[in-house]
């Protein structure tokens, strides 16, 4: 038992030493909302937005959140004397966050539709969307008629998707609903879809950045964009948005914002070398790595405590304890991690009536799932110890408690070590699922980068290399601790 405790102590010490290198204050700051605009003492509103919807919202090479929606909201806040904190989390996640009162409003190129007006209150329109078809050069597509029988990519929940659904009735093509413009572009380039349908400014920006697509149809108006709040809530914020928007339109600042992103000079695609891309991307990716390692370290420590507790309960003689442990393990092993991420960040705040930090939601998601698996590791390791060991201990006049502490557990801890190391690695990789709720981990940061430059393959290769190195170092540390303790 002493060896088992020594192993756990050394393992945690090694992990703490490794994680502490990355646990700079910036890790917390970079996942916190970006406070912008307005008077220093003005009221602060949290605004949800999309992660990758250039030129309406995206991150520039320095990592700053920019775009038409972002600059417009900042300018309105400045005009009306309030402050905003942006949370970029994806369009659908932003809507869920608004419903759960995790944010006060959403600005993300959201179309004003009758269905949404039943749930949300919209501002005056601030942009009229126009959708069009785009495909690879020399694809032979010139109109909707050429798409008959083919697959077409659309963005989930967008006005362009509704337009494509109307045209689908006439031309009989298949729709492939995806969550991001960059994903749609890659789907077309890889041959999964023949074309994509999206808003003109988004497609035009992608072409400027070297997406490799071309426009093949005249744009058609599909609807107006509006800023939204929950129905019957934040009426003052909605009124300030409308007043500020009117003031910006009268002063000409509104036109200047649009001109900067969709009417100015084309900077052209990012033609830097792979090394140049690596250099410019690394600061943001390191921030994501810090957050990934930090949330993994916190969650693994909690999961170890839960796993040991429920693992011992599972093999106890108390039927109630066994029942509780069995239920816990069955629930969290039998349901997807992503379901719990959405539950803890979007559903639980509605049940409790109070917002929940994204760090708390992320740690709960990973630690409860990991704790269920570690509980089974503990149970299996204890039960795999040769029963003859217990019989020999009892022949030496040791009681059941002494047999467990001095004979069974030391051997069980040796056997569970490789499985614990494996579980740590699994939790580190599972942390990438937290990007769905807007947690600023490594893959989230990668999405911000390739949404702006459309160099998806190269950025993902860099991310894969970073994951490999991080996991290799973690495995090396854990194996060294294991060798020193379990000689």
For the segment 125-139, what is each residue's pLDDT rounded down to a tens digit?
999 988 899 999 888
Alpha-carbon torsion (222, 224, 228, 233), positive or negative: negative
Provide mean pLDDT across the span 352-372: 93
Cα separation of the two ends of the chain: 14
Euclidean distance between CA atoms 350 and 99, whole angstroms: 8
- Low-confidence winner among 10-19, 102-111, 222-231, 416-425 (lowest mean pLDDT): 10-19
CB within 8 A of 117, min separation 6: which ones? Answer: none
Q: Which one is predicted more confidently, 123 or 178?
A: 123
Give the angle 100-106-112 at the CA atoms, nearest 5°.
110
Q: Tell me, what's the pLDDT at 22? A: 42
Residue % of the chain over a pLDDT of 90: 46
Give the angle 425-52-63 at the CA atoms, nearest 5°.
75
Structure token digits, residue 260: 């900067």
- Tokens 């390739």 appear where? 450
CB within 8 A of 23, min separation 6: which ones? Answer: 290, 293, 294
What is the per-residue DSSP string for 348-416? HHHHHTS---HHHHHHHHHHHHHHHHHHHHHHHHHHTS-HHHHHHHHHTT--HHHHIIIIIHHHHHHHH
Please state the φ and ψ torsions of residue 223, each to the nearest 5 degrees. 150, 175
Q: Tell me, what's the pLDDT at 103? A: 93
Euclidean distance between CA atoms 294 and 24, whole angstroms: 10
- Is residue 28 over pLDDT 90? no
Q: Which one is predicted more confidently, 250 or 30?
A: 250
Across the chain, what does the average pLDDT equal?
A: 85
Please state the φ and ψ torsions of residue 393, each to the nearest 5 degrees. -65, -40
Residue 61 burial (CB count, 10 A): 15
The secondary structure of 156-184, three-state, reads CCCHHHHHHHHHHHHHCCEEEEECCHHHH
Residue % of the chain over a pLDDT of 70: 84
Please state the φ and ψ torsions of residue 296, each to the nearest 5 degrees. -65, -45
Alpha-carbon torsion (129, 130, 131, 136), positive or negative: negative
CA dihedral (218, 224, 228, 234) in degrees, to 10, reads 160
Radius of gyration of the chain measured on its C-alpha atoms: 27
Q: pLDDT per residue over 64-122, tens digit each? A: 888 999 999 999 999 999 999 999 887 888 998 999 899 999 999 888 989 999 999 99
- Is residue 40 over pLDDT 70? no
Q: Tell me, what's the pLDDT at 2? A: 47
Counted residue by residue, the chain has a size of 487
Residue ranges and CATH numbers for the domains of the chain are: 2-27+273-485 (1.10.3720.10), 32-126+226-263 (3.40.190.10), 129-223 (3.40.190.10)
Euclidean distance between CA atoms 179 and 39, whole angstroms: 36
Q: pLDDT per residue over 192-237, tens digit each? A: 999 999 988 888 888 888 888 888 888 888 889 999 999 999 999 9
Angstrom distances, CA of residue 385 to CA of 17, 173, 314: 32, 61, 16
CB within 8 A of 90, min separation 6: which ones? Answer: 50, 51, 179, 180, 436, 438
């Amino acid at each position: 038992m002493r060896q088992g405790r020594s192993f756990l102590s050394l393992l945690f010490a090694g992990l703490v030493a490794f994680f502490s290198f990355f646990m700079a204050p910036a890790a917390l700051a970079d996942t916190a909302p970006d406070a912008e605009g307005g008077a220093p003492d003005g009221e602060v509103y949290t605004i949800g937005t999309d992660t990758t919807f250039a030129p309406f919202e995206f991150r520039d090479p320095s990592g700053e959140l920019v775009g038409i929606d972002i600059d417009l909201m900042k300018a309105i806040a400045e005009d009306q004397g309030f402050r905003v904190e942006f949370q970029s989390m994806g369009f659908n996640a932003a809507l869920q966050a608004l419903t759960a009162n995790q944010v006060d409003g959403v600005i993300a190129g959201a179309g004003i539709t009758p269905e949404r007006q039943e749930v949300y209150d919209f501002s005056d329109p601030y942009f009229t969307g126009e959708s069009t078809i785009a495909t690879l050069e020399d694809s032979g597509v010139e109109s909707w008629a050429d798409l008959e029988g083919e697959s077409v990519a659309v963005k989930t929940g967008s006005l362009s998707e509704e337009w494509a659904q109307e045209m689908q009735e006439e031309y009989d093509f298949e729709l492939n609903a995806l969550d991001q413009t960059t994903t749609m572009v890659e789907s077309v380039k890889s041959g999964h879809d023949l074309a994509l349908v999206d808003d003109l400014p988004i497609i035009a920006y992608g072409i400027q950045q070297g997406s490799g697509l071309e426009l093949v149809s005249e744009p058609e108006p599909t609807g107006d964009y509006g800023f939204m709040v929950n129905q019957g809530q934040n009426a003052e914020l909605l009124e300030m948005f409308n007043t500020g928007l009117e003031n910006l339109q009268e002063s000409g600042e509104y036109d200047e914002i649009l001109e900067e992103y969709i009417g100015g000079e084309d900077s052209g695609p990012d033609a830097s070398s792979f090394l140049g891309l690596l250099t410019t991307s690394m600061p943001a990716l390191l921030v994501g790595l810090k957050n990934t390692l930090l949330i993994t370290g916190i969650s693994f420590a909690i999961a170890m405590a839960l796993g040991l507790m429920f693992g011992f309960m599972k093999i106890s003689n108390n039927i109630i304890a066994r029942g509780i442990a069995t239920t816990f393990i069955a629930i969290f092993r039998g349901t997807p991690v992503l379901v719990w991420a959405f539950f803890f960040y979007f559903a639980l705040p509605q049940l409790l009536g109070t917002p929940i930090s994204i760090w708390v939601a992320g740690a709960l998601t990973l630690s409860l799932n990991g704790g269920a698996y570690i509980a089974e590791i503990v149970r299996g390791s204890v039960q795999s110890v040769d029963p003859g060991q217990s019989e020999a201990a009892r022949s030496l006049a040791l009681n059941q408690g002494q047999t467990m502490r001095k004979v069974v557990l030391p051997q069980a801890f040796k056997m569970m070590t490789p499985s614990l190391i494996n579980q740590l690695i699994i939790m580190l990789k599972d942390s990438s699922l937290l990007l769905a709720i807007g947690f600023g981990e490594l893959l989230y940061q990668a999405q911000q980068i390739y949404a702006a430059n459309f160099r998806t393959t190269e950025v993902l290769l860099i991310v894969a290399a970073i994951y490999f190195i991080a996991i290799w170092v973690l495995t090396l540390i854990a194996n060294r601790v294991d060798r020193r303790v379990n000689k």
